[in-house]
Structure 1
Amino acid sequence: MSGKRHFLVAGPGAAPPAPSAPPERWLQAFADGQWSTWATLQATLRAGDTVWVPVTLPGWEARVRELAQQRRDVAVVVLSPVPHDDEGLRALNAGARGYVHLLAVPAMLREVEHVVRHGGLWAGPELVQRLLAAARTVLAHAPAAARSVADLSVLSEREAQVARAVAAGKSNREVAEQLFISERTVKAHLGQVFAKLGVRDRVQLALLLTDGQPATEPKALP
């Protein structure tokens, strides 16, 4: 993971391991990850870093907003011991690119990091649906000429099936169960979908496929 740096923010004056954060799973995901207090973080950051902020950090929302405004070249992910939509919306509104469970498994933490580092947005399926509902309201009042049509002809039949399921708000596991394939296969197809359609995350994909316009049919599998 050369060149990728991760900082987990501890509370003021806390010495690692701090009781407010999950060092074991987080360090399993990012073996070279570093602890940092807010005071020392500012002088340490460089472009491309990822900062993980637990909601147990006093004033976390203001901290995230400050960091997002001052360092647009740094990705911020908020960690919560009890994730819920309202808190997630607050995190995203403050400028976080990701919102995930404090005790997420290492594989998920690495996936979150991959998404946000490439400019995407990570949030739970329920929160994504709320964001989509708000976006659809805006799109409904937008001029038809401003809307884009998703050209699914660039996708294989299976990729299009995955794209539609994800756009409907299903998780990778739910898509796998629906299509009788593995989660690993879903993830691989989704990566191809993002690349071919030029989107960075599930929210952008869902907006592209649910703008009220008919989507071009995908090509058939050979």
Structure 2
Amino acid sequence: MDSERERVRVVIVDDDQLVRMALRLVIDGEPDLTVVAEARDGDIALTVVDEQRPDVVLMDVRMPGRDGLSATRELLTRPAPPRVLVLTTFDSDDLVLGALRAGALGFVLKDTPPSRIVDAVRTVATGDPALSPAATARVIAAATGPHSSEARRPSREAARKRLSALTERELDTARAIADGLGNAEIAERLHIGVATVKAHASSLFAKLAVENRVQIALLVRDAEE
């Protein structure tokens, strides 16, 4: 792309200066991405996002002061919010889960290869979730396991009411998503084409008013507990 305005504009939020520096080097090395600002905590992030109007925010979850979960919730209540991609080391599964419930479009590990980080930024910039099936399954397991401290799950009755709007095939797709399957694996399980799986997934996002596959999976788990 020839101008900065045509690039995906990114804000990096992390309390570790070295992490911010490394991410900036990776992202600014791409012709279609640009880092427009950095922030070391959630409060500064809110101010920076208001000033810069980025397309994507790379958001750490554990920070002094306002953490990434609180900042994400606040950002996503605003008009025309940026896409949020959560940064995690997987030692804070509950906070990651909370951010995803709030509407963040995905998460990446801090030790993810640089090429996958930039791919994730590009993916969420288009409005699509950046959630690998394996990572999704791990977060769901952490959320529903016996030691989970996540306390914001909807009631079983509320989850079942939302799922009742689905067709049988859409419900089958939702259950496969809850099992951490990718599109190709869902297609194989249900004996349908990948294009049909994608169509069912689009219907799920619309009918359930969710932003990502983790939110779909959580509704299924809530309904079936």
TM-score bracket for this pair, using the shorter chain length: 0.5 to 0.7
**Aligned counterpart in structure 2 of residue 150 of structure 1, from 135, 138, 163:** 163
Paired positions, count: 195
TM-score when scaled to structure 2?
0.56
Q: Following the alignment from structure 2 to structure 1, what is the Cα–Cα distance between the partners of residues 140 and 39?
A: 29
1:77 and 2:85 equivalent? yes
Q: How does 1:56-95 map to 2 (within 5 A)?
A: 59=63, 64=68, 67-68=71-72, 71=75, 72-73=77-78, 74=81, 75-80=83-88, 83-84=89-90, 86-93=91-98
The superposition leaves residues 164-183 of structure 1 with CA deviations (integer Å, 9 ceiling, x where unpaired) of: 21133333353244346665
Aligned residue number for residue 127 of structure 1: 139
Q: TM-score, normalization: structure 1?
A: 0.57
Q: 1:8-19 maps to which residues of 2 (within 5 A)? A: 8-9=12-13, 18-19=21-22
Counterpart of 2:11, as a letter, is F
Unmatched segments (≥5 aa) in structure 1: 117-122, 214-222
Distance 1:12 1:91 in 2: 18
Report the aligned-residue RMSD: 4.8
Post-superposition offset of 1:199:
3.2
Q: What's 1:161 paired with? A: 172
Residues 205 and 212 in structure 2, CA contact (< 8 A), matched pair in contact too = yes
Structure 1 residue ranges, 4+ long, deviating more than 6 angstroms after superposition: 1-4, 10-14, 135-139
Once structures 1 and 2 are overlaid, which stretch shifts more, 192-201 or 3-12?
3-12
Contact 1:54 1:60 (C-alpha < 8 Å) held by counterparts: no
Shift in Å at residue 66 of structure 1? 6.3
Which whole-Å deviations, capped at 9, do the CAs of 1:144-173 have from their partners, x for residues lacking one?
589526225x5373x443222113333335
SS at 1:51 equivalent: strand
Partner Cα distance (2:65, 2:184) in 1: 31
Is contact 2:177–2:213 with CA below 8 Å preserved after alignment? Answer: yes
Classify the secondary structure of the residue corresponding to 1:124.
helix
Q: CA deviation at 1:184?
A: 5.9
Does structure 1 residue 23 correspond to structure 2 residue 26?
A: yes
**Contact 1:9–1:54 (8 Å) recurs in 2:** yes
**Which one has a bigger Cα radius of gyration?**
1
Letter in 2 for 1:19: A
Q: Which letter maps to 1:89?
A: D
Show the counterpart of 1:33: 34
Q: Quick check: 44-53 or 159-168, which moved more?
A: 44-53
Once residues 207 and 217 of structure 2 are traced to their aligned partners in structure 1, the CA distance between those partners, rounded to angstroms, is 14
Establish whether residue 205 from structure 1 lines up as the match of residue 216 from structure 2.
yes
Matched-pair contact (CA < 8 Å) for 1:167–1:209 = yes
CA distance in 1, matches of 2:212, 2:37: 29
